[in-house]
Amino acid sequence: MTDTPHPDQVSGSTTATSGALPGYPTDHAAYPEAAGQAVTIRGLRKSFGQRVAVDDLDLDVPRGSFFGLVGPNGAGKTTTLSMVTGLLRPDSGRIFVAGVDVWGDPVGAKARMGVLPDGLRLFERLSGPELLSYLGRLRGMPAETVTSRATELLHVLDLDEAGGKLVADYSTGMRKKITLAAALLHSPPVLLLDEPLEAVDPVSARIIRTVLSRYTGAGGTVIFSSHVMALVEGLCSHVAVMSRGRLVASGPLAEVRGSASSLDDAFMHLVGADEVGEGGLSWLGSSQA
Ligand SMILES: Nc1ncnc2c1ncn2[C@@H]1O[C@H](COP(=O)(O)OP(=O)(O)OP(=O)(O)O)[C@@H](O)[C@H]1O
Span from the CA of 142 to the centroid of ligand 1 (angstroms): 38
Q: Is the pTM of this model over 0.90?
A: no
71 lines ligand 1 (CB under 6 A): yes
Answer yes or no: is the C-beta of 108 below 6 A from any ligand 1 atom.
Answer: no
**Is a pLDDT exceeding 60 seen at residue 5?**
no
Between CA 120 and CA 172 the distance in angstroms is 10
pLDDT in tens, 39-65: 999 999 999 999 999 999 999 999 999
Nearest-CA neighbor of 267 among 288, 239, 236, 289? 239
Q: Does the interface predicted TM-score (ipTM) exceed 0.95? A: yes
Q: Probe ligand 1: pick from 48, 88, 226, max atoms within 8 Å of CB?
A: 48
Helices and strands per DSSP (H, E), number in the chain: 9, 10
Round to whole Å and give the CA distance between 21 and 116.
24
3-state helix, strand, coil in the chain (%, to 5): 35, 25, 40
Q: What is the pLDDT of residues 55-94, one digit of tens each?
A: 999 999 999 999 999 999 999 999 999 999 999 999 999 9
CA dihedral 273, 55, 38, 35 (to 10 degrees): -140
Instruction: Please work out whether the CB of residue 51 comes within 6 Å of at least one atom of ligand 1.
Output: yes
